[in-house]
Structure 1
Amino acid sequence: MPAPDSSRQPGRPRGRSGPRGSQRSAQKPSERAKHAEPARFAAYTLLRAVDDGAYANLEFPAIIRRHRLDSRDAAFATELAFGTLRMQGFYDAVIERAAGRPTSKIDAGVLDVLRLGAHQLLGMRVPAHAAADQTVGLARTVSGAGASGFVNAVMRRVSERTRDEWVSEVVPEGGATAALAVEYSHPEWVVSALRGALLGHGRATAETVDSELRALLESDNTPAKVSLVARPGLATVDELVDAGATASETSPFGAVLDGGDPGAIPAIRDRRAAVQDEGSQLLAVALATAPVADGVPRRWLDLCAGPGGKSGVLGALALEAGADLVAVEVSEHRADLVRSTLEPVAARSAEADLDLEVRTADGREIGEAEPAAYGRVLVDAPCTGLGALRRRPEARWRRQPGDLAQLGPLQRDLLRSALDAVAPGGLVGYATCSPHPAETTFVVRDALKKRDDIEVVDAREYFRDAAGEVLHDLGDGPEVQLWPHVHGTDAMFFTLLRKKA
């Protein structure tokens, strides 16, 4: 749903009506806002930080605190910034047409100002006069009076058409992939990759793939709900519900927060609960609950543990099962995050005389160093993250097709290491937050070549919702591929492998 107007300018004249019913400001640039309004300036600050390499979800809370935004302005700034990042490709096409020049010829800071203005006009319920006034004021603040005149001219041209009219104007004809890339603001290679994933995982046929793809792209552009997990044995769903959340229908340990700050919930502050996508919760539960052979080591391994979300669930479930846990992370910084996440589990494990170790090491070496040492192994492999684009709006613009070639060997090596590290009769779960076949089924197929000691287990029966029923629409198996537009989760992939006893 579009965010309400936050112009904070009661009594300002609404301006005259432009062509096609759009609202245009009657003010001259010199009469407009002299300074940027705080919420819009915060959104601009985030866009510039992202351009410098920051991650939006990690950077923005600090920006909100620094600008001292109240809850209303923080909500407006969040929708403005994240919505602009998601729809950047579409807005750039509009800006190029309105400015009469390619975006590469526009100063990067001015371009971000124009993107924010375009989102207010075409993606939010901000009156045209307020969007133009505040965007010109923002340009004057960050780039000077000269830039504000250019921004004013472009904003006037953008406001002359509705969003649907701009779609008709800038979306190319005669090419389905190219057209969808502009309309739904995804790089063209990502649209092609998602189409291939829908077909490759059996979610769509040649007859249905176009409608499925549109639904998936639309889902990527819809802000994800704030999903919470009550780590088993440490917190309960009822505790999260009492704090204002709603119990999840998808995950037995999940809840959904409609608004407010998750960090204000005591269980989350204490790290007994966390913000975590329901798909991530389900795959950890699947690995922990699928049966293993008698006599396998009561020792579990998280091979790629950072930053620790899945380790938090897996560690809590290991504690309940009376098992030790080793969490391996190659980055020292990320290993520290895992240690912080697991502190409550570690304390309980020590009381139960169980070992919980966070180790800074290369997961590719564990299988050789500790062959057949673990009963359950999770490989949450580094990937392109194409399944989490709704949560990470800038990721679609950062990833390149070449990333697949770089990540593929690492994913295969990690899975092979896990297969060596698991004991006969034990289980390995291979997971990615990407549906791309090059990161999912192809990796599993290649890792199993020349091995006759591994069998694939049908994972579907271990993906059960809050009512205990097998989750719907999991496909033909044996692997599981979740979808945002079907399950309301990230597009998580999961394969369950058993070493023969």
Structure 2
Amino acid sequence: MPESRSRRRPMPPARPADPARAAALEVLRLVRTEDAYTNLVLPSVVAKHGLDTRDAGFATELAAGTIRRQGTYDAILAACIDRPLRRVEFGILDILRLGCHQLLAMRVPAHAAISSTVDLAHAKAGPGAAGFVNAVLRSVGRRDLEEWVAEVAPSPEGPRNARMDHLAIKHSHPRWVVDLLDVAAPDDDLDALLAANNVPPKVTLVARPGRAEVTELPGTPTPYSPYGVVLEGGDPARIPAVAEGRAGVQDEGSQLVAHALATAPLEGSDELWVDLCAGPGGKTALLAALAAQRGARVVAIEQHQHRARLVRKAVGTDAPGVLGVLTADGTQPPLAAGTADRVLVDAPCTGLGALRRRPEARWRRSPEDLLTLVLLQRRLLAGALDLVRPGGVVLYATCSPVRAETGDVVSATLARGSGVRLEDVRPLLPGVTDDDGPTPGTAQLWPHRHGTDAMFLALLRRTTGNAATG
């Protein structure tokens, strides 16, 4: 007869959840339920759980890496669970993903990865969930990542659809994103690009000219930007120039956007620069420093109040070169037409060029977002061209290599009317090679080629005729 309930030995008390793993789970929950950004929510979660430097680093890699590789792990978990993943409670699925990342992509011994994740499940969801997580992760641990990809992904040697499906699972990208990047990427670069999107970027600092010197900053000088260094380690906030707002954290590609606008040849007045989509303010701060060195001033325009506050924080209250930060719609800038000398349009986009930095973006965006964004990008570029004076320049940039957001926006603008000329932006990018954009004269940076976000740049000059309108 089965042993009676009263005579069964009680289960041993569960061990408490490891704080670093509990913090990583909280980050996954906030990203999933509150549309939080991984890099923005991590500091507060780390502080809440009281993690030291070592545990904070572990939690950061565990949370960001799990989100990055979610697509691959879900395909593996689907092969290990006897019901559809949609029927697994979200919180349990997050715990399983964390376990997968420890087993398959981190230097955590298998027994520690499984036992600590089971403890986490027990603490957060009870003994039943712990048993389920234990069984599933033991199945996952029977193969390494390469073996699992070979098991669950279609063969890469098949027809195009199968190859694209293989890459989507291997590199953990939604299939629609793989298709768009396949069109955008240089020949035979797709695999390398997708792989680069899964490598966490190193921290890059920018010394704002006139306020800080590159030699003040620890690290290795960036290969292209004259203002940057790659930080080898440590907390950027502890660097005096960063703490004082004279330097900041900024991707090298973003630095090059500001550099290209500031160094574009210009005849006549050079007094008013406008950053039309300024949030969160990194490019504004660099532009303001460059403008101050030649007696110009920058007006920053940002539609959303919370992002406008970030711009004000980034540029500081007493930074030279800043005329003002306006909360306004960049498609209808509150400045007189034809008055600006230089205008930056760092347009809102899918962000598919910054997937290594914002791992959640690949899961948060959808194909339906693209049309809405493209229409907005065209209106912003038209607004910038109306704002700039004849002879002045507009730098159009996106942190996306998707053709619809890059070359197609530029081509559509040029086709709408006279008064605008596309100029070659590539000579303004010092030392950069292999950067040909989709439209002649434009530039496209790549994480796998240049070590930057996939920034697109196009330089347009307003001629004496009428500018194109939206």
CA contact (8 A) 2:197 2:447 kept: yes
CA contact (8 A) 1:186 1:396 kept: yes
Partner Cα separation in structure 2 for residue 335 and residue 76 of structure 1 = 33
Equivalent AA in structure 1 for residue 147 of structure 2 = E
Instruction: Give the corresponding residue for 1:305.
Output: 278
Specify every segment of 5 or more residues in structure 2 that has no aligned partner in the other structure, as ranges: 1-9, 465-470
CA contact (8 A) 1:32 1:137 kept: no
Task: Trace 1:99-110 onto structure 2 (pairs within 5 A).
Answer: 99-110=81-92
Partner Cα separation in structure 1 for residue 397 and residue 176 of structure 2 = 22
Instruction: Give the corresponding residue for 1:24.
Output: none
* Structure 1 pair 195–32 and aligned structure 2 pair: CA distance change class (3 A): farther
Q: In the alignment, is residue 499 of structure 1 matched against residue 465 of structure 2?
A: no
1:383-407: per-residue Cα shift (whole Å, max 9, x none)? 0000000000111000100111111
1:88 alignment partner, one of 67, 70, 94: 70
Instruction: Give the corresponding residue for 2:27.
Output: 46
SS in 2 for 1:366: coil
2:246 alignment partner, one of 272, 276, 279: 272
Structure 1: 4+ residue segments shifted above 4 A: 29-33
Equivalent AA in structure 1 for residue 363 of structure 2 = W
Equivalent AA in structure 1 for residue 209 of structure 2 = P
2:358 alignment partner, one of 385, 388, 392: 392
Residue 247 (structure 1) shift: 2.0
Aligned residues: 447
Partner Cα separation in structure 2 for residue 379 and residue 348 of structure 1 = 22
Partner Cα separation in structure 2 for residue 318 and residue 279 of structure 1 = 19
Equivalent AA in structure 2 for residue 378 of structure 1 = L
1:233 alignment partner, one of 188, 210, 222: 210
* Structure 1 pair 320–32 and aligned structure 2 pair: CA distance change class (3 A): farther
* Structure 1 pair 285–257 and aligned structure 2 pair: CA distance change class (3 A): same
SS in 1 for 2:172: coil
Instruction: Give the corresponding residue for 2:6.
Output: none
Partner Cα separation in structure 1 for residue 15 and residue 224 of structure 2 = 49
Equivalent AA in structure 2 for residue 365 of structure 1 = Q
Residue 100 (structure 1) shift: 1.9
Residue 287 (structure 1) shift: 0.6
Partner Cα separation in structure 2 for residue 414 and residue 163 of structure 1 = 44
1:307-357: per-residue Cα shift (whole Å, max 9, x none)? 10110111111111210211101111111111111126x4434xxxxx611
CA contact (8 A) 2:351 2:361 kept: yes
CA contact (8 A) 1:297 1:423 kept: no
2:299 alignment partner, one of 326, 337, 343: 326
Residue 447 (structure 1) shift: 1.5
Residue 268 (structure 1) shift: 1.1
2:325 alignment partner, one of 338, 342, 358: 358
Partner Cα separation in structure 2 for residue 221 and residue 33 of structure 1 = 35
1:185 alignment partner, one of 168, 172, 188: 172
Specify every segment of 5 or more residues in structure 1 that has no aligned partner in the other structure, as ranges: 1-28, 350-354, 465-469
Equivalent AA in structure 1 for residue 449 of structure 2 = V
Partner Cα separation in structure 2 for residue 71 and residue 131 of structure 1 = 20
Q: In the alignment, is residue 348 of structure 1 matched against residue 340 of structure 2?
A: no
Between 444-453 and 147-156, the greater mean CA deviation after superposition: 444-453
Instruction: Give the corresponding residue for 1:485.
Output: 448
CA contact (8 A) 1:32 1:136 kept: no
Q: In the alignment, is residue 475 of structure 1 matched against residue 413 of structure 2?
A: no
2:258 alignment partner, one of 261, 276, 284: 284
SS in 1 for 2:400: coil
Instruction: Give the corresponding residue for 2:46.
Output: 64
Q: In the alignment, is residue 213 of structure 1 matched against residue 187 of structure 2?
A: no
Residue 227 (structure 1) shift: 0.8
1:371 alignment partner, one of 337, 347, 363: 337
Partner Cα separation in structure 1 for residue 460 and residue 138 of structure 2 = 59
Equivalent AA in structure 2 for residue 322 of structure 1 = G
Equivalent AA in structure 2 for residue 264 of structure 1 = R
1:481-501: per-residue Cα shift (whole Å, max 9, x none)? 000000000000000011124
Partner Cα separation in structure 2 for residue 156 and residue 98 of structure 1 = 9
CA contact (8 A) 1:457 1:497 kept: yes
1:109-150: per-residue Cα shift (whole Å, max 9, x none)? 000100000111111111111011101000001111110000
CA contact (8 A) 2:225 2:255 kept: yes
Q: In the alignment, is residue 436 of structure 1 matched against residue 402 of structure 2?
A: yes
Instruction: Give the corresponding residue for 2:139.
Output: 157
Instruction: Give the corresponding residue for 2:98.
Output: 116
Residue 260 (structure 1) shift: 1.5
Equivalent AA in structure 1 for residue 428 of structure 2 = Y
Q: In the alignment, is residue 55 of structure 1 matched against residue 28 of structure 2?
A: no
Instruction: Give the corresponding residue for 1:223.
Output: 200
Partner Cα separation in structure 2 for residue 283 and residue 32 of structure 1 = 57
SS in 2 for 1:325: strand
Partner Cα separation in structure 1 for residue 229 and residue 11 of structure 2 = 50
Identity of aligned residues (%): 54
Residue 32 (structure 1) shift: 9.1
* Structure 1 pair 292–32 and aligned structure 2 pair: CA distance change class (3 A): farther
Instruction: Give the corresponding residue for 2:289.
Output: 316
Instruction: Give the corresponding residue for 2:427.
Output: 461
Partner Cα separation in structure 2 for residue 264 and residue 219 of structure 1 = 29
Instruction: Give the corresponding residue for 1:3.
Output: none
Equivalent AA in structure 2 for residue 172 of structure 1 = P
TM-score w.r.t. length of structure 1: 0.87
TM-score w.r.t. length of structure 2: 0.93
1:450-494: per-residue Cα shift (whole Å, max 9, x none)? 322111110011001xxxxx3121227400100000000000000
Partner Cα separation in structure 2 for residue 426 and residue 441 of structure 1 = 21
Residue 290 (structure 1) shift: 1.1
* Structure 1 pair 114–30 and aligned structure 2 pair: CA distance change class (3 A): farther
Residue 250 (structure 1) shift: 2.4
Q: In the alignment, is residue 35 of structure 1 matched against residue 16 of structure 2?
A: yes
Partner Cα separation in structure 1 for residue 102 and residue 173 of structure 2 = 20
SS in 1 for 2:458: strand
Partner Cα separation in structure 1 for residue 457 and residue 13 of structure 2 = 54
Equivalent AA in structure 1 for residue 73 of structure 2 = Y
Residue 30 (structure 1) shift: 5.6
